[in-house]
Chains A and B, each alone.
Chain A
Amino acid sequence: MKAGPAPQAAATGAARIVYGLALVILLVLPFVSSTYTQYLVIHMMMLAIYALGFNLLFGYTGLLSFGQAAFYGIGAYVCAGILLRYPSLLAGILGGVAAAAAVALIIGLLSVRHTRIYFTMLTLAFGMLVYSVLWKWRAVTGGDDGLVGIPRAPLDFFGLAVIPVRTVTSFYFFVLAVTLVALFVLHRIVHSPFGLSLQGIRDSEVRSQFVGVHVRKHRLLAFIIAGAYAGLAGALLAPLESAVTPVISHWSHSGDAVLVTLLGGVRAFFGPAIGAVLFVVIRELVVRITEYWQLVMGIIVVVLVLGFRGGMAQAVMDGWQRWVVHGLAQRQPPVPAQVQAPAPVGQAQARVERGEEP
C-alpha cells in the first residue's frame, strides 16, 4: 500500500523543481528580454510582496482587509520624502517600511477588536482616510499631483559599499533580492508556532482562546506584518516610477491585493505570487486586444469564483493530483479513495464553503 505518501512526496518534489525553475528564469530574464519586460516583472514582484503580506492576514488569519493600500501609500510617500532629501535607497526603503508598520499598529489597535464585515469596512474607512490626507495635505504630499522627480538613489551600505541601481536591469536585481528575502521571512513566519496559532484563530477563535492563544495580540501582529509588507511594496514603487500620487492608497488598489490573492489561491503559500504573475500578464494581453479590458477581467473573476475558488494554485494542484495520482494508481493496485493524499487546502476551505464561522 505505497500509493498514499508517494503522490504527496512527488508533489513536493515537483513543486521544488518548479520553484527552482522559476528562480532560474528570474535570474536569466534580463539577459534575454527587453527593458519593458523587466519592468513588468518588477511590478509582478512588488505586487507579489503586497499580496503575500495581505494573505498572511486573509488566508492565514481569516481577516479580510480592504485597507492595505493605505500602508502601501505610506511606504511609498515616506520613501519618496526620504529619497528627495537624502538619496540613500536603504534609508528610503527602511523608512517607508517602518512608517507603514507604525501606522498599521495604530489602525490595527482600533480595528482588530472587530471581525468579519465590520473589520473589513473599518479597514476600508481607515484606508480612505489615509488617501484623503495624502490628497489634501498639499504642502507635504504635493496633493493630487503627488511627489515627482524621486531619484533612483544608489544602495548605500553606510558608506562601506555603494551600488548604483539607476538602470532598470540593476533595479530589477535589487527588487529580486528584496523579494526573495521577503519570501523567505514570510515562509519562516508562516511555519512558525506564531503562524500556526494564526491559522488556529482563523479556524476557530473560541478554541484558540481556550488553548491560551491571545487572539487580539496575534491578530494585531499579523496586521502589522501585512502592513509592513504593503509598505515595502510601496517603498519600492517610489524609486521605480520616480513619482507617487495619492491614488495608490485608494480602496480600489486595496482590492487589487484581494483579487490577486484569490486569483492565485488563498491557501497556498505561493498563491499570491502566482496571482501577481497572472494578473500582470492577463492585463497586458487583454489591453492589447481590446478596449473592453474590464469586461474580460470581470468574466475571468466570475468564472474563477464559480469554478476555481482555490485559485490557480488549486487548479494546478488538482490537475497534478489527477494525473499523478491517477497515473501512479495505474501502475499499482487500486487504492481506496480516502488514502488519496489530502489536498493541502484542508478542512478550513470546506468549512468556508459551508458558510460556517471561520
Chain B
Amino acid sequence: MHGARGALLVVLVAVIVFLAVPSALAQCELGVDRIRFGGQGVLTGPLADYGRQIQMGMQLAIEEINAAGGILGCQLEMRFLDSELAPAVGVRNARQLADWGAHFFVGTDSSGVAMALGPVLQELDIIQFFTHAATHRLTEELVYEQGIKQIVRVAAPIYQDAVGALVVKDMPEVKRWATIGADYEYGYVAWQMFKDLLKRHRPDVEFVAEAWAPFFTMDFTPHIASVMAANPDGIFVTPWGGEAVMVLRQALQMGVFDRIQVWWQSMGGSVDALEGLTREIQADQFKGKLWASARYIHNWPDTEMNRRFVEAFQNRWARLPNYSAESAYSSIYIAKAAVEKARSLETDAIIAALQDMVIETPAGVRVFRNEDHQFEYAVPAGRAMYDPGYPIAILGDLRVFDTSEYWRYPPFPPLD
C-alpha cells in the first residue's frame, strides 16, 4: 500500500500547488485578499421576500463582476444576515459583519433599522449602500444635517410615493381623497407628501377620511368600511407587500371598485404584490382603477442594460427582479465604479469618487446628489394590468415624470 499512499501524496501536493499558484499570481491592486460586502435584509416573516431579493441582487452582481475579473483584480465576496426588521438586530449584524471584515454594507428594508444604523456606520467608518429603507430622515437628517457621510442611498426614497399626485391631478372628477394608511412613519409621511403635492396642483381637492392599520393587520375590513363611509373618489393606500394584497382583495369583496375612481397603491408595482394579485388583475376586477408605482419596475426603461439584467436575473433565480434586488445589484456596480475611480477602499476616497457621479443602471441613469448622498432617478407610475408577454401582472400605461416635479431638494423645508 506504500505505492498507493505515495501516489495520493503527490496528487495532493499537486492539487495544493495548483490552487495556490493562481492566487499567488492574482493581482489584487488594493492590498486585500478579497473585497467584502456585508448585506442585510428581512428574511423572516410576511415581508421576507424583500430581504431575499436584496440577497439575490447582490449575489448576481458579485458573480458577474467576479467572472469578469473582479474590481481592480480583486475578487468579491459577500455575507448576508437577517435583520428581522428589528433595529437591535440590524445594529448587531452590522457590528458582526464589521468584525468579519466587511468593506461595504448593502441593505436594509426597514426605515427603523436604517435610522438606528446611521450612527453605528459612523462609528465603524463603513459605507452602507441603502437599497430599500425609504425614510426621508435617513438622508435629510442624518447626512445633510448631521453629516454622517457613510450613508449612501441608491433606492428612490419616500418621495416616490407622492408621484401619484401627478397622475391624478389630471383627473378632474376625482376630488375627494381618503387614505387607508400604514400606522407608522412611512404611512404618515407618504400621505403628507401626497397631500402637499396634490394640493399644489389641485386646490379644489378635499381630504375626507383616514383609517390607520398597524403592522401585521390581517383584517382591513373595518378600515375599508370606515373610509368608504365618507364616499371618497380616490383612496391612497400605504400598507404594502402582503398587506397590499390583503387589503385589495378585501376591498374587492366589499365592492369598493364599483364606487371609487382611483385606488393608489404604494409600492403596488412590487413583484410580490403583483404576483399575489395576478388572478384578479387578469380578470380585470379592478376595472383599470388600480394605479401604483415602485422604486423600480422591471419593464421600464426599455434599455439594453435593463433587459440584460432582467434576463440574467430570471435565468439565475427563476423570478422577476423586485426593486430591492435592482438597487442591491446597482449598489455593487456603483461601489465598483467608485473603487475603480478612487483606486482605494478608504471611506473619504470613495465618497470623493462618488461626488457628481452619473451612472447607468438597470433602473435608468442615476445621479448622485452630493448634499445628502441620495442617488436621483425617475420611476414611472402605471396602471395594474395583464400582459401575456409576462408571467405575472405588470404596470402598464406608464407615466414618467421629471424628478424635479416631485422630489424634495436641499435645503429641505420641514414637513407639516
On A, residues with C-beta under 8 Å from B are 34-36, 39, 43, 135, 138, 143-146, 148-150, 241-243, 245, 247-248, 284, 287, 291, 294
Contacts and interface: CB of A to CB of B under 8 A. Distances in A.
A149 B119 CA distance: 6
Contacts of B44: 294
A149 B88 contact: no
24 contacts: A36-B99, A138-B188, A143-B185, A143-B188, A144-B185, A146-B112, A148-B115, A148-B116, A149-B118, A149-B142, A150-B119, A241-B91, A241-B120, A242-B123, A243-B91, A243-B119, A245-B116, A247-B87, A247-B88, A247-B112, A248-B88, A284-B96, A291-B43, A294-B44
B23 interface: no
Contact of B184 (A144, A149, A287): A144
B331 interface: no
Nearest to A248: B88
B235 to A, nearest CB: 23
Interface string B62-81: 00000000000000000001
B336 interface: no
A36 B112 CA distance: 22
A117 to B, nearest CB: 24
B87 A245 contact: yes
A287 B116 CA distance: 21
B184 A36 contact: no
Contacts of B87: 146, 241, 243, 245, 247
Given A135-B184, A241-B88, A36 B116 contact: no
Given A36-B96, A146-B87, A242 B112 contact: no
Which of B86, B87, B135, B137: most chain A CB closer than 10 A?
A: B87
B315 interface: no
Interface in B129-186: 135, 137, 141-142, 146, 184-185
B135 A145 contact: yes
A294 B118 CA distance: 28
Interface residues of B, number: 29
Interface of B: 43-44, 81-82, 86-88, 91-92, 95-96, 98-99, 111-112, 115-116, 118-120, 123, 135, 137, 141-142, 146, 184-185, 188
Contacts of B91: 241, 243
Given A36-B98, A148-B142, A143 B184 contact: yes
Nearest to B96: A36
Nearest to A292: B44
A241 B116 contact: yes
Given A144-B185, A146-B116, A243-B91, 19 more contacts: A36-B95, A36-B96, A36-B98, A39-B95, A138-B185, A138-B188, A145-B185, A146-B112, A148-B116, A148-B137, A149-B119, A149-B146, A241-B87, A242-B119, A242-B120, A245-B87, A245-B115, A291-B43, A291-B82
A325 B398 CA distance: 81
Nearest to A243: B116
B99 A34 contact: yes
Nearest to A284: B96
Contacts of B141: 148
A291 B82 CA distance: 8
Given A242-B120, A243-B87, A144 B112 contact: yes
A43 B95 CA distance: 13
Contacts of B123: 242
A244 to B, nearest CB: 8
A138 B81 CA distance: 30
Contacts of B98: 36
Contacts of B137: 145, 148
Given A245-B112, A291-B82, A148 B119 contact: yes
A144 B115 CA distance: 10
Nearest to B215: A144
Contacts of A149: 118-119, 142, 146
Contacts of B142: 148-149
Contacts of A138: 185, 188
A143 B91 CA distance: 19
